[in-house]
Structure 1
Amino acid sequence: VRQHLRLDPISCTVRNLWESSSSSMSVANTDTYEFSDSEFIYQTRPWVDKEASQLSRFDIELQKRWNKAMSLGVFRYGIDHIVTRVIPGPKRYIGQLNTLRATERRKPQEISSVNQPFNDKAFSFSWVKSEEILFNLQNVTTSKKSITDDGVSRETNGTDVQSPHCGQNGNSHDLSSSLGDAIHSQSSTDGEVKPERHTLIVNVSPMEFGHCLLVPQIDSHRPQVLTQTSIRVAIETMLLSKHRGIRMGFNSLCAFASVNHLHFHLYYLEQELIVDYFPVHHLGGRYFEFTGLPCPGFALQLYGTTVSEMARQTHRISSYFHENDIAHNIFLCRGSVFSEERNSMLTTIRLFIWPRKKFIGQKSADEFNVACIELGGHLPIKEVEGYYKLTETDVDAIIADACLPPEQYKDIRDHVIKMGLEEADKLQRNL
């Protein structure tokens, strides 16, 4: 039986501190967690270090509020019933039995296309109850400048975030991306820059401890299509945590996104996953290939580059997928730098993006769906029999069924290699 950590209030920059659950908060007047680039944590302890994961100011505030929401009955169920086992085999899949999530979660929306537009009449995260909202996130460094989703800064008084050891390959050269020209910071009527709201909301059908939803640009009512800003916000949120087991995932439409409103899943897991350490193969530029699981995909790392550059390079791939109607999943984690051994003390943010078969309403596997979490090696299992009987071979077969045909994946891979070589060539010419 797991015990939730109950934390005392701390001194931090959170405006309009959380009131009782009876308050009529909305996203517009929710508390705001303010931070600056100086708060980013680039390295965490590797899993070989057996000491408990450390917590940052952000972790403490998030967990305090998440625990309070649990104590107030905001969730549809608790998480004490969840049991965990490592499925034997070299991949060491983490299986978790969570029958209540399978039966109590909100019914997924009907999704028929990767390009399905936002529907104002359907459920969105703007509709959630006030007590489900944890806080908004505001980077006071980037809010000092106006940033568009093409990555271009409209002012010069802001800074970008550089990962440690950012050498020539980490120089930032912003290029126009193929999607979006919405302004990251919107001007208010008095001429001041009004930051967009990026909101953390509890997932009322939790998969694990701390499970919440990061909803970037919440007021823009965007469909479940990645923007460069949303990817940057996701990476920044990961950097606010000191916990080596923090995880974040994104499911595109037709890849098990259940709500067509731009969002990421965020949660904590106290077990190491294969994506935390498995080697990758260099393709070109800053693009790598991950083949540790039956579904191959692409990988990037923050090490040696900047947050903005990593977001832009990821967005190039996701934009290509979106434009070509390719379903995809993304998973972010803490792990070893790509060139390092599994137990290296040199860690970074790893990001994986998988093209995959579309899922449009057909029956999925009885044991688990194949979405971002599962492609990361973490398996929330729906039913008791599967939890105890699943072998690594069984899991491999279920995941392999989500793969694209080899010839289609090869075409995508060739395009990613081409993009990577273009990036490397542009970087070389700009030196």
Structure 2
Amino acid sequence: MYSRTLRKLTQINCDSWRLLSSFRRVAATELSRRRHCWRSVVALPVFVVARSVACKVAMAKEEENPKRKRTQSKAKYVTTIQGKAPHYLNSLKVRWEQLHEIPGIFAYQLQKTRPNRVLPGKYKFYAELNPDRTLKRRIPQTIENLNPTFKPKQFNFNKVDALEVMMTIDDVDKTEVQMIVNRSPLTRFHTVVCPDVKNNLVQRITAHSLKFCINFMRGLDDIDIRMGYNSPGALASVNHLHFHLLHLPQDLYINHVELEELAGGYVYRLSKSMPTEAICVIFEANDDEAEVQEKVNNLHKLADWMCGQNIPHNLFITPDRRPGKRGNVQVFVFARSQYCVNKDLAEFNVGFCELAGYIPVGDSDKLENLTEPMVIKRIREITGTAPQAVYTRMKQIVNGEDQSIWEQPLTI
């Protein structure tokens, strides 16, 4: 009797425990499910908000930097200098870095980081220390005038070591453009761009060389690459046609100047409120071949005229870094009243770099003591009154007005 009662109580207890365990499992599962749902509901608005913000940022960037529209078919575009430029630039960067590691190719090893200063003031001129260039670069040639003759016995780019030629680009009309390392670099990837080297062209802009440089720049997505040109009397070092390619990631003075329209809807001058003078020709991202050719021809006519008038000049070619202008290229033309015969490597020279707002200096004292007023004063001294005549002449060229009165040499 007692044992039967005990077995019955034990069975009831076991059944109760099983029932309680089942209830706990069901309750735990339900609670877990509800927690997961609650988390999903809470996380959903956060995800939606985050995605919404990301989309708005992307849309804002798209509006600020609209995609470049090709004016040619893709098949034709990829065969042009403009279409091939990104590939050429990437190959050039790799080759430049390789050569920079080989002893004897460069006059000195360019330091990855160099002391620099943004000069205090409104216009933010950027100065950088490069003492090696002052001490170790090749002695610049003396080029007596703007219409020099080629002198094969002097240094020219036919005489560089074959290893210094990073690449040769086949351009239109079976011409070649050599990309040669600058043995005394100002920046990473500093390259001498030499069109038609074997034809022994003097340091005077040709329409073909100008068009090559502009189309090369128009094809790049890298807005840190710039090009420049110094004429005889404007800091040219070698009397053999060449441009410079530089890597300048900094925003420079010239990238933020105010512009006033001068002629044609694409030729501007620096605003009268700016401290320096220059012409700016804008190549739009969507310009077709005819529009590009027209602008190149007018720039070349201006350069030819300046040579005939004994006006030294510099060019600076840069991606348009203003908001909403991605894909445009700006060509700045600086005219000068003073003809510089020799570079004084110990002093503050003015070439296309300095005119654009990038100022390499040779010693630390100059880096520390250079001021914005000093830079502006020096630029104004070499510029003089020449830009005023150039503004008038460029309007004549663009508007197709009578040019006979401009054929007489200008006295400065």
TM-score range, shorter chain: 0.7 to 0.9
Distance, in Å, in 1 between the alignment partners of 2:182 and 2:274 is 27
Q: 1:293 to 1:365 in 2, by over 3 A?
A: farther
Deviation at 1:40, TM superposition (A): 3.5
Tell me if the contact between 1:58 and 1:240 (Cα under 8 Å) persists in the aligned partners: no
Tell me which of 312, 323, 336 is aligned to 1:356: 336
Match of 1:235 in 2: 214
| C-alpha distance after superposition, 1:160-199 (max 9, x if no partner) | xxxxxxxxxxxxxxxxxxxxxxxxx2xxxxxxxxx11111
TM-score, normalised via structure 2 length: 0.72
Tell me if the contact between 2:317 and 2:330 (Cα under 8 Å) persists in the aligned partners: yes
Distance, in Å, in 2 between the alignment partners of 1:236 and 1:112 is 31
Runs of 4+ in 1 over 3 A off after TM superposition: 38-41, 291-295, 304-307, 358-367
User: Larger helix proportion, structure 1 or 2?
Assistant: 2
1:89 to 2:121 alignment: yes
Tell me which of 109, 131, 137 is aligned to 1:105: 137
Q: Could you tell me which amino acid in structure 1 is paired with residue 213 of structure 2?
A: A
1:198 to 2:177 alignment: yes
Look up the SS of the partner of 2:169 in the other structure. strand
| C-alpha distance after superposition, 1:80-128 (max 9, x if no partner) | 1632221122211111100110111110111111111111111110100
1:66 to 2:96 alignment: yes
Q: 1:309 to 1:390 in 2, by over 3 A?
A: same
Tell me which of 92, 106, 118 is aligned to 1:75: 106
Distance, in Å, in 1 between the alignment partners of 2:181 and 2:122 is 34
Tell me which of 122, 134, 138 is aligned to 2:170: 138
Question: What is the percentage of aligned positions where both structures have the same residue?
Answer: 26
Deviation at 1:365, TM superposition (A): 8.5
Deviation at 1:39, TM superposition (A): 5.0
Deviation at 1:239, TM superposition (A): 2.7
Tell me if the contact between 1:95 and 1:381 (Cα under 8 Å) persists in the aligned partners: yes
Look up the SS of the partner of 2:213 in the other structure. helix
Tell me if the contact between 2:334 and 2:387 (Cα under 8 Å) persists in the aligned partners: no
Distance, in Å, in 2 between the alignment partners of 1:219 and 1:125 is 9
**Structure 1 gaps, min length 5:** 1-33, 42-54, 144-184, 186-194, 337-341, 424-431
Match of 2:381 in 1: 401
Tell me which of 324, 332, 346 is aligned to 2:317: 332
Q: Could you tell me which amino acid in structure 2 is paired with residue 350 of structure 1?
A: Q
Alignment of 1:123-134 (within 5 A): 123-134=155-166
1:296 to 2:328 alignment: no
Deviation at 1:283, TM superposition (A): 1.2
Alignment of 1:38-77 (within 5 A): 40=83, 56-73=86-103, 74-77=105-108
Distance, in Å, in 2 between the alignment partners of 1:243 and 1:257 is 26
1:269 to 2:248 alignment: yes
Q: 1:366 to 1:394 in 2, by over 3 A?
A: farther
Tell me which of 346, 362, 372 is aligned to 1:382: 362
Tell me if the contact between 1:281 and 1:289 (Cα under 8 Å) persists in the aligned partners: yes
The farther-off stretch of 318-327 and 238-247 is 238-247
**Structure 2 gaps, min length 5:** 1-76, 402-412
Match of 1:37 in 2: 80
Tell me if the contact between 2:320 and 2:329 (Cα under 8 Å) persists in the aligned partners: yes
Distance, in Å, in 2 between the alignment partners of 1:224 and 1:35 is 31
Distance, in Å, in 2 between the alignment partners of 1:379 and 1:297 is 17
Look up the SS of the partner of 1:402 in the other structure. helix
Tell me if the contact between 2:81 and 2:216 (Cα under 8 Å) persists in the aligned partners: no
Q: Could you tell me which amino acid in structure 2 is paired with residue 273 of structure 1?
A: L
Match of 1:370 in 2: 350
1:322 to 2:307 alignment: yes
Distance, in Å, in 1 between the alignment partners of 2:345 and 2:312 is 18
Match of 1:10 in 2: none
Deviation at 1:227, TM superposition (A): 0.5
Tell me which of 385, 389, 395 is aligned to 1:417: 395
Aligned alpha-carbon RMSD (Å):
2.4
Tell me if the contact between 2:82 and 2:220 (Cα under 8 Å) persists in the aligned partners: no
| C-alpha distance after superposition, 1:356-377 (max 9, x if no partner) | 0333436758552100111111
Tell me if the contact between 2:140 and 2:342 (Cα under 8 Å) persists in the aligned partners: no
Distance, in Å, in 1 between the alignment partners of 2:197 and 2:220 is 22
Q: 1:64 to 1:344 in 2, by over 3 A?
A: same
Structure whose CA Rg is larger:
2
Q: Could you tell me which amino acid in structure 2 is paired with residue 395 of structure 1?
A: V
| C-alpha distance after superposition, 1:362-397 (max 9, x if no partner) | 675855210011111111112211101111111111
Deviation at 1:236, TM superposition (A): 2.0
TM-score, normalised via structure 1 length: 0.69
Match of 2:191 in 1: 212
